[in-house]
Amino acid sequence: MAGTDAIGAGSAQAKRGGKMARKKVRAPWLERYSALLLAAVLLGAWQAAVPLAGLSEFVLPTPLAIATRIVGELPLLANHAYVTLFEVVSGFAMAVLIGIPLALLIFYSRAFERAIYPILVALQTVPKVALAPLLVLYLGYGWAPKITLAFLISFFPIVISTVVGLQSLDKNLVYLVRSMGANEWQTFFKVRLPAALPNIFGGFKVAISLAVIGAVIGEYVAAERGLGYLQLQANSLFDTTLNFATVVAISGLGVTLYFVIDFIESRVTYKRDSAK
């Protein structure tokens, strides 16, 4: 009797197990494309909702109308995108060229760290956007104030992430290479820098997105070209579709630059957790 009971319990458990297993059944196809699918559903809902709600294109254009407009205005968008791209990349490059050496000074000199850190943090609390009108006042209407704003806004994350990356190194690794006779120069290039690269690239990714914001805000304040300028033009002409098209172009610019950095990172670093 006990034997049959046990068997009965076992099969009941198997049934429950079967139910759970069914719940966890996976559709690889669905998992792979789930993000695209959701985006498509949301855009579809938007597309359908605009006529259903009786909204005019002037208030809220449909995704299809925006896409069509983007294709139609490609040369115009590209012309302005080049300007913004130049400002973003220049500002970001400046932030790297000044931020990394500054981070090295902070890392290697305790006195410099003590002197500069309070100033850096104080500067960081100033909303950079509030400086835009001043920058225009000092630097004029050209690309200079936009690059400066992109630089100012993207500089801090690069400095901080580089310093943190360098400081978080296991001290024993330094002892290890010293025991092999390494000088500080070798210690830096063989151990400190490679170990800090994931942090540094993390800072770059934050910084490049911020640089786009900096450049566009700069263009909002005063400009003759650039995506921010184009958007203001569209706004003043009540051309909502072009307005949306510009927004898409600005995000496209940011996303592209982000993935460029992501690609460079994948070339120069080995991810610790990317076990096959």
Partner 1 sequence: MNALSQAGAAVDISRLSKTYKTREEDDVVALGNIDVRFEPGSFVAVVGPSGCGKSTLLSLLAGLTGATTGTIAIDGETISKPHPKIGVVFQSDLLLYWRTVIENILLPIEIKRLDVAKYRSRAEELLVQVGLEGFGNKYPSELSGGMRQRVAICRALIQEPGLMLMDEPFGALDALTREQMIMDLQAMWLRLGNTVLFITHGIDEAVFLADRVLVMSPRPGRVDLDLKIDIPRPRQWGRTHEDKAYQGYVRQIRDIFEAKGVLVAH
Binding segment (CB under 8 A) for partner 1, from list 29-37, 89-97, 183-191, 205-213: 183-191
Question: Would you count residue 190 as binding partner 1 (CB under 8 A)?
Answer: yes
For partner 1, which is the closer residue by CB, 238 or 263? Answer: 263
Binding segment (CB under 8 A) for partner 1, from list 129-137, 142-150, 189-197, 258-266: 189-197
Residue 202 contacts residue 273 (beta carbons within 8 Å): no
- Closest C-alpha to 158, from 88, 109, 101, 86: 101
Query: Pick from 191, 200, 210, 242: which binds partner 1 (CB under 8 A)?
Result: 191
For partner 1, which is the closer residue by CB, 22 or 276? Answer: 276
Site residues (CB under 8 A) for partner 1, limited to 245-274: 269-270, 272-274
Question: Would you count residue 184 as binding partner 1 (CB under 8 A)?
Answer: no
CB of 192 to partner 1, least distance (A): 11
Size, binding site for partner 1 by CB under 8 A: 23
Residue 181 backbone class (left: φ over 0; alpha: ψ -120 to 50; beta: rest): left
Binding segment (CB under 8 A) for partner 1, from list 41-49, 158-166, 187-195, 257-265: 187-195
Query: Pick from 6, 78, 180, 237: which binds partner 1 (CB under 8 A)?
Result: 180
Q: Report the alpha-carbon distance of residue 184 to residue 201 in Å, rounded.
A: 23
For partner 1, which is the closer residue by CB, 186 or 233? Answer: 186
For partner 1, which is the closer residue by CB, 65 or 197? Answer: 197
Site residues (CB under 8 A) for partner 1, limited to 28-57: none
Q: Report the alpha-carbon distance of residue 116 to residue 220 in Å, rounded.
A: 32
CB of 168 to partner 1, least distance (A): 14
For partner 1, which is the closer residue by CB, 204 or 244? Answer: 204
Q: What are the CB-based long-range contacts (under 8 Å, 24+) for 237-246?
A: 238/58, 240/57, 240/58, 240/59, 240/60, 240/61, 241/57, 241/61, 241/65, 241/66, 241/69, 242/69, 242/73, 244/61, 244/66, 244/69, 245/66, 245/69, 245/70, 245/73, 245/77, 246/77, 246/80
CB of 201 to partner 1, least distance (A): 13
Angle at 252 between CA 251 and CA 256, to 5 degrees: 115
Which residues contact partner 1 (rule: CB under 8 A)? 170, 172-173, 175-182, 186, 190-191, 194-195, 269-270, 272-276
